[in-house]
């Protein structure tokens, strides 16, 4: 299983939110590059970079942070937040992201998402399924669509989606454990997708459980920043040297 640390950006700083609430914010690094270098030096290979300003503004904002991290590390970066237009996707890829995570557009303009999928291929795009009470949330988690996770995934997996990152928003930033039963249900229905779990990871045991379920990857944020998971403890996973 791939361990994928998260760096969430607001006003150029690395922060973590609780349940996606912008008024429940903790700043961990004034310069996100410091966090990225820490991960890279520990042998981590991947990074989940989220533009929270972009998610709120409906367009990519913090692309310069992406550019700096891509230039200064060898991390494989997936970038999400504010990817709403062709121009946003071009900015993301031109500034060093290996993949783009797309959620709101896939829910609101599926034909545009499918166009991107056809143009860039399934290796470049990650479908973001962020859930509130089983329904897909959009626009920085401020709105809720009518899609259940199964309806949402069915529409896009049938179009060739390979990577899916799924967040149970009620658990995000809360350190209460991941939504293991949800991920088990998803993989029972879509056995061939590369499912990345996000939200709630609080300790090493949570990661081992997600690996046992069959998740392709797990995004970890607050548990690392708060010292609940030591970077050296991640060496047992195949994606960390």
- List the catalytic residues: 8, 130
First and final CA of the chain: distance in angstroms?
A: 13
DSSP 165: E
List C-alpha distances in Å: 39 to 94, 201, 220. Answer: 23, 17, 11
Alpha-helical (H) ranges within the chain are 32-41, 52-57, 63-72, 86-94, 104-108, 110-120, 149-157, 180-189, 204-213, 222-225
Nearest CA-CA partner of 187 in 158, 160, 164, 161? 164
- The Cβ-side half-sphere exposure at 67, using a 13 Å CA radius, reads 10
């Amino acid at each position: 299983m791939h361990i994928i640390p998260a760096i969430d950006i607001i006003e150029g700083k690395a922060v973590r939110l609780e349940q996606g609430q912008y008024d429940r914010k903790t700043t961990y690094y004034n310069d996100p590059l410091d966090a990225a270098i820490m991960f890279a030096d520990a042998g981590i290979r991947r990074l989940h970079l989220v533009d929270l300003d972009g998610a709120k503004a409906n367009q990519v904002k913090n692309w310069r942070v992406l550019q700096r991290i891509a230039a200064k590390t060898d991390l494989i970066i997936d970038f999400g937040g504010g990817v709403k237009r062709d121009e946003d996707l071009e900015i993301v890829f031109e500034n060093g992201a290996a993949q783009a995570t797309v959620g709101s557009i896939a829910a609101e303009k599926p034909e545009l998402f499918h166009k991107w999928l056809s143009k860039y291929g399934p290796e470049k795009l990650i479908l973001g399924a962020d859930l509130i009470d089983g329904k897909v949330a959009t626009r920085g988690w401020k709105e809720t669509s009518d899609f259940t996770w199964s309806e949402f995934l069915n529409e896009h997996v049938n179009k060739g989606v390979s990577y899916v990152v799924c967040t149970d928003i009620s658990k995000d930033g809360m350190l209460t454990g991941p939504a293991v039963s949800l991920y088990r249900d998803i993989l029972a229905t879509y056995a061939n997708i590369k499912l990345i779990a996000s939200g709630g990871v609080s300790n090493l045991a949570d990661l081992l459980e997600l690996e046992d379920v069959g998740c392709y990857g797990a995004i970890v944020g607050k548990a690392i920043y708060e010292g609940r998971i030591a970077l050296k403890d991640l060496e047992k996973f195949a994606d960390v040297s």
